[in-house]
């Protein structure tokens, strides 16, 4: 610990919550002014408040654990909620093909990296799954340029469903194997239970949410409480069948996705989570980081960090290139798909935290994943903005009768 002797960790709920809210209020604007991601500011706040520096907040304190735990669920819930299902339906075949490529290739690369650095097969599979998903962090950029209906963009957005569910499924199997319940029969049983659970959530919660919203049309308060209750109940349901709660949270977001599309309460659901719960989760990530150990990982385990970051960048590009000929994409579209699939935030952070807690990955891997998240959060938007501008420029040059491959 750097300065741990300066303070005794705060355990009382109210002071702990006050500190979390102060950090969430004051640090992000500073990083915005510096043109750095707010996420970086929140993680840094956790590092400073945590046991490795000032030792003001304890990650295991009840208040911190509760708020960060709900924040992790809310993060995955919003990941499911923000997927545009209409775009997926409009470009279903393209989405599935790119989803398979951008899941399988990074998974395979991550698996090889894990095995190459001496991890067992189970841990190596989890490392692969951490590279397989992606977060729609740069969605506002392509929306700004009017490219949401562009075929490559639509395919990438739709592929998120495949990659996130696939990555979470791998996580569920790896956790089952780690717990000692990992025989072939047990894995087949778990996959069957997982499939039944998906069906029950998607085909049960969806009509139920529509029915409730019709009955509570004029009562946004009850609508909000219903959505939050769905998040918690489905997450607890996942836990009851030995799945990680983040899987249930993601499925809950998918289940109420269409119901909330045109509802005014949707903005309140986003606002409440992003203002209150999500910052607590990101601060908690910082509380778990030891800056000395993190720096040692980057310096002494440099090859591991470079392999993970380079593996992600290379495998995501290979995935976009793999579908180029089949779909007839031009190079500008391939580059845009690559940049859109680079950012690793939601599923990657949540799964990495679950893997660290289950001792599936080492602290060095966890630190490398944090470095990966920070790098992709910084570089992904820059690349997306550049490639989106390029594609818009090409569209403007082409004849109006032959636009840049927009969906019919």
Within 10 A of 321 (CB to CB), how many other CB atoms are there? 17
DSSP class of residue 406 equals B
In the block, tokens 């992003």 appear at 274
Confidence band for 310, pLDDT divided at 50, 70 and 90: very high
Confidence band for 328, pLDDT divided at 50, 70 and 90: confident
Residue 408 pLDDT > 50: no
Alpha helix ranges (H) inside 91-243: 92-116, 121-132, 139-144, 151-178, 184-200, 206-215, 220-240
Structure tokens at 50: 């945590």
- Rounded mean pLDDT, 263-284: 86
Structure tokens at 200: 């029950």
- Rounded mean pLDDT, 119-124: 92
The b-or-e profile of 33-43 (16+ CB within 10 A means b, else e) is: eeebbbbbbbb
Q: Which residue has the higher pLDDT, 143 or 155?
A: 155
- d(Cα 190, Cα 192) in Å, to the nearest integer? 5
Q: Are 141 and 385 in contact (CB under 8 A)?
A: yes
Confidence band for 271, pLDDT divided at 50, 70 and 90: confident
Residue 402 pLDDT > 60: no
**What is the tens place of the pLDDT at every residue in 219-269?**
889 999 999 999 999 999 988 887 778 888 888 998 998 888 888 888 888
- pLDDT at residue 149, rounded to an integer: 75
- pLDDT at residue 87, rounded to an integer: 67
Structure tokens at 395: 């569209």
Alpha helix ranges (H) inside 133-150: 139-144
**Per-residue CA distances from 253 to 48, 74, 342 (Å):** 32, 9, 22
Confidence band for 8, pLDDT divided at 50, 70 and 90: low
Structure tokens at 391: 């594609």
- φ, ψ of residue 406 in degrees (nearest 5): -90, 155
The b-or-e profile of 296-307 (16+ CB within 10 A means b, else e) is: ebbeebeebbeb
Burial degree of 405 (CB within 10 A; 0-12, 13-18, 19+)? middle
- Rounded mean pLDDT, 26-50: 82
**What is the tens place of the pLDDT at every residue in 62-87?**
888 888 888 888 888 887 887 777 76
Closest CA to 324 of 155, 84, 135: 155
Q: Are 53 and 47 in contact (CB under 8 A)?
A: yes
Alpha helix ranges (H) inside 34-135: 38-49, 62-81, 85-90, 92-116, 121-132
pTM given for the model: 0.75
- d(Cα 132, Cα 82) in Å, to the nearest integer? 18
Confidence band for 182, pLDDT divided at 50, 70 and 90: low
Radius of gyration of the chain (CA): 21
Helix, strand and coil in the chain, % to nearest 5: 80, 0, 20
- pLDDT at residue 181, rounded to an integer: 61
**What is the tens place of the pLDDT at every residue in 84-116?**
777 677 677 888 899 899 999 999 999 999 999
- d(Cα 272, Cα 67) in Å, to the nearest integer? 13
DSSP class of residue 138 equals T
Min mean pLDDT across 193-207, 220-234, 358-372, 384-398 is at 384-398
**Per-residue CA distances from 79 to 246, 274, 281 (Å):** 11, 12, 14
**What is the tens place of the pLDDT at every residue in 124-139?**
999 999 999 887 777 7
User: 180: left (phi > 0), else alpha (psi -120 to 50), else beta?
Assistant: left
**Per-residue CA distances from 27 to 33, 92, 377, 381 (Å):** 10, 41, 17, 21
Closest CA to 4 of 60, 54, 46, 45: 54
Residue 6 pLDDT > 70: no
Whole-number percent of the chain with pLDDT over 70: 92
Confidence band for 314, pLDDT divided at 50, 70 and 90: very high
DSSP class of residue 6 equals G
Whole-number percent of the chain with pLDDT over 90: 22
- φ, ψ of residue 57 in degrees (nearest 5): -120, 140
Q: Are 131 and 308 in contact (CB under 8 A)?
A: yes
| SS3 category, 83 | coil
Structure tokens at 242: 């030995």
Residue 5 pLDDT > 50: no
């Amino acid at each position: 610990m750097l300065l741990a002797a300066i303070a005794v960790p705060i355990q009382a709920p109210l002071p702990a919550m006050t500190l979390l809210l102060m950090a969430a209020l004051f640090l992000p604007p500073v990083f915005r002014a510096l043109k750095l991601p707010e996420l970086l500011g929140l993680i840094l706040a956790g590092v400073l408040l945590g046991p490795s520096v000032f030792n003001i907040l304890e990650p295991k304190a009840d208040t911190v654990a509760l708020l960060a735990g709900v924040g992790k669920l809310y993060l995955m819930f919003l990941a499911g909620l923000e997927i545009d299902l209409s775009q997926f339906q409009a470009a279903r075949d393209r989405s599935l093909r790119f989803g398979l490529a951008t899941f399988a290739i990074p998974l395979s690369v991550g698996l090889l990296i894990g095995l190459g650095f001496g991890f067992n097969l189970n841990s190596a599979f989890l490392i692969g799954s951490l590279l397989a998903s992606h977060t729609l962090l740069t969605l506002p950029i392509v929306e700004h340029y009017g490219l949401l209906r562009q075929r490559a963009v639509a395919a990438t957005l739709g592929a998120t469903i495949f990659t996130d569910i696939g990555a979470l499924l791998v996580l569920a199997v790896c956790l089952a194997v780690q717990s000692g319940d990992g025989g072939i029969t047990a894995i087949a049983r778990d996959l069957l239970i997982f499939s039944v659970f998906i069906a029950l959530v998607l085909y049960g919660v969806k009509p139920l949410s529509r029915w409730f919203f019709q009955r509570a049309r004029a009562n946004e308060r009850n609508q909000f409480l219903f959505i939050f209750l769905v998040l918690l109940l489905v997450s607890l349901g996942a836990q009851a069948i030995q799945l990680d709660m983040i899987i249930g949270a993601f499925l809950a977001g998918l289940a109420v996705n269409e119901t909330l599309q045109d509802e005014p309460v949707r903005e309140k659901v986003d606002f409440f989570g992003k203002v209150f719960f999500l910052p607590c989760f990101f601060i908690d990530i910082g509380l778990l980081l030891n800056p000395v150990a993190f720096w040692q990982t980057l310096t002494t385990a440099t090859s591991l960090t470079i392999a993970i970051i380079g593996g992600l960048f290379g495998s995501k590009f290979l995935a976009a290139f793999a579908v180029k000929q089949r779909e007839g994409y031009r190079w500008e579209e391939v580059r845009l798909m690559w940049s859109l699939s680079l950012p690793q935030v939601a599923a990657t952070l949540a799964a990495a935290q679950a893997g660290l807690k289950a001792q599936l990955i080492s602290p060095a891997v966890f630190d490398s994943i944090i470095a990966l998240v920070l790098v992709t959060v910084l570089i992904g938007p820059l690349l997306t903005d550049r490639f989106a501008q390029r594609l818009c420029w090409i569209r403007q040059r082409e004849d109006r009768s032959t636009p840049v491959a927009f969906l019919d």
